[in-house]
Structure formats: structure tokens, C-alpha cells
Amino acid sequence: MVWELVRSWFDSLWFKISSVFLFQKELSIAIIGLQNSGKTTLIRLLGGKPFETDTVPTLGIQVSHFSLENNLIKVYDLAGQTRFQPLWERCFDKVDLIIYMIDLSDTMTLNESLQKLVKVIQMANGDRIPLLIVGNKTDLVADPKDPLPLGPLQAYNPDNWEKLKLDSTNAHLLKNPDILSRQIGVDLAARTLHVPLQSSEPPANESNAQGPANDTKQLPLHGDIAVLTVSCKDGSHIADVIDWIVQL
Ligand SMILES: Nc1nc2c(ncn2[C@@H]2O[C@H](COP(=O)(O)OP(=O)(O)OP(=O)(O)O)[C@@H](O)[C@H]2O)c(=O)[nH]1
Ligand SMILES: [Mg+2]
């Protein structure tokens, strides 16, 4: 415990000294998402540490510093437990990037995670904070032996933003970042977010001439946004996460 405090103080001091003398770019990142999604694990990997199976749930906010390809990174690792979630947005005014982690292998919490994500997208978009959405644990999501026939979501019908009813037979589809984006409601090409209409709102074709033919409305996305799927365990696509962070 004392050693952890000394190390965190030393890291912070090193961060300040190197940012003054080495003129590196500084980036502050908040990493959020439901508990057990792999936030602390991703930070370990970005900081050059190995994957660990036995992790301790984060309590509150844990701040760490490291360098990543000539960038000085300060990370706010926010606890995912429900009681700590009100802390998430308190960090938004301090950061240059938000990373939102999703556990793609946990079909019990996927819908909750995606619903919370839509609120985060709207907040980040309002404040124009870049947002990187990371679907994690692809190593645990097995492909089915007998794939289902292509549905509208997979067939990329531009007018149909109907979402999959997620269950253990179709959750593997979200390993594809394009399908994950559509399930969230993010149209990366058109830079819009499709959100369900409230019952009090008029149908989409009355409120928005170019709107989709179903009961969603489109909100313009202003900030940088990307969707990636990774496995922290086997390291797949972690390099894409790093590339995206350092290009900011
Ligand atoms: N199989 C597999 N396990 C993973 C992966 N990423 C993380 N884990 C495991 O998931 C568990 C939770 O990881 P954490 O990084 O502690 O999760 P967290 O999001 O920080 O959780 P909180 O701090 O409670 O919010 C640990 O057992 C990790 O080893 C992955 O890509 N694949
Ligand atoms: Mg954690």
C-alpha cells in the first residue's frame, strides 16, 4: 500500500519533469465501462505490462502515468461498479479522450453496457471529446458452428437501423466492429448517431426529411469517434488501439 503510494507519487513527478524537459505531447484519458469489462487490463497493456487473469476490481478512480510512442499519457481508470458510475462524467472535463470498454463475451450485461454507452456518446459529443469504443474479450466469443442466415443488420441496409435482439446465438456478430457500430447506433460514414424516438416525438420521416424509415432519429456527431474490437488476453488489435490514441 505504502509502496503503491510512493510509486504513484514518483510516476506523477516523472510525468511532470518529462513533460517540461522532453517536450512530449501530453494526453489525458478517462477509461470507463461496466465492471469486469477489462479497463484496468487494457491500461496495463498500454503501459507495457503483461496480461493478468487475477485482477482486483478498481475502487473509485485510479490515476496512472506512462509513455506511449512519445506521448505522455495520464489515465483515469474509473471503477465500473454501479455505485462508482456517477464518477465517470466528473472526469470528462479533464480529459482529451474517453475510452469506453465493452465485455463482448457477457451477454447478460451487453444491453446495459450499450444503453449506457449511448448516453456517454451524447455527452462526449456535446463536449467534443474524442471517444474510442472498445469491444473486448473477443477471444471468449466463439463463432457458431451453423451461422444464422444474414439478417438486416449484417446486410447493411442503409435504411434499417433495427437492432439485433442480442442473445448467445448472435452476440458473436459484434466481434465485427462495423456490426458493433450499427448495434450501438453509430453510423461512422455519415457521422450520425441513431437514437430511438421517445413516444412523445413525431415519426422520423416527419421530423427529419432524410431520416431512416424506422422509429429512430439521427443526431450529428461532431467529435472524433472510433469503434474497435480487441482481445486484451491474446493481444489482438491492441496495436490498433495504440495507433488510434497516438494519432490524436
Ligand atoms: N479472456 C479474457 N479475459 C479478459 C480480457 N480482458 C480482461 N480480462 C479479464 O477480465 C477480468 C476483469 O478485468 P479488469 O481489467 O479488472 O476489469 P475492469 O473493467 O477494470 O473492472 P472494474 O475495475 O471492476 O471496473 C480479469 O480477470 C481479466 O483478466 C480479455 O480480452 N479476454
Ligand atoms: Mg478496474
Closest by alpha carbon to 44, among 62, 26, 71? Answer: 62
5 C-alpha to ligand 2 centroid (Å)? 17
Binding site membership for GTP: which residues?
Answer: 33-40, 80, 136-139
Which residues, at least 6 apart from 66, have a Cβ–Cβ distance to it below 8 Å? 11, 46, 47, 48, 73, 75
pTM for this entry: 0.87
Assign a CATH topology to domain 2-246.
Answer: Rossmann fold (3.40.50)
Query: Given pLDDT bands bounded at 50, 70 and 90, which one contains residue 131?
Result: very high
Residue closest by Cα to atom 14 of ligand 1: 38
Quickly count: other Cβ atoms within 10 Å of residue 46's Cβ: 21
Q: 120's torsion region: left (phi>0), alpha (psi -120 to 50) or beta?
A: alpha
Tens digit of each residue's pLDDT (9 = 90 or more) over 28-60: 999 999 999 999 999 999 999 999 999 999 999
Please report the ipTM that was assigned to this predicted complex: 0.99
Query: Is the model's pLDDT at 154 over the cut of 80?
Result: no
Cβ–ligand 1 distance for 175 under 6 Å, the answer no
- Give the residue-averaged pLDDT of 97-103: 98
Pairing mode, strands 216-220 and 192-196: antiparallel
Among 43, 174, 232, 236, the mutation site with the greatest number of ligand 1 atoms within 8 A of its Cβ is 232
Cβ–ligand 1 distance for 38 under 6 Å, the answer yes
Which residues, at least 6 apart from 240, have a Cβ–Cβ distance to it below 8 Å? 228, 230
78 C-alpha to ligand 2 centroid (Å)? 7
Which residues, at least 6 apart from 33, have a Cβ–Cβ distance to it below 8 Å? 39, 80, 99, 100, 101, 102, 103, 113
53 C-alpha to ligand 1 centroid (Å)? 7
Query: Is the model's pLDDT at 234 over the cut of 70?
Result: yes
Residue listed under C-alpha cell 457477457:
106
Cβ–ligand 1 distance for 233 under 6 Å, the answer yes
Query: Is the model's pLDDT at 156 over the cut of 70?
Result: no
Which residues, at least 6 apart from 108, have a Cβ–Cβ distance to it below 8 Å? none
pLDDT attached to residue 23: 53
**How many Å apart are CA 112 and CA 4, to the nearest integer?**
33
- Give the residue-averaged pLDDT of 151-157: 60
38 C-alpha to ligand 1 centroid (Å)? 3
Cβ–ligand 1 distance for 137 under 6 Å, the answer yes
Query: Is the model's pLDDT at 24 over the cut of 90?
Result: no
Share of the chain above pLDDT 90, in %: 67
36 C-alpha to ligand 1 centroid (Å)? 5
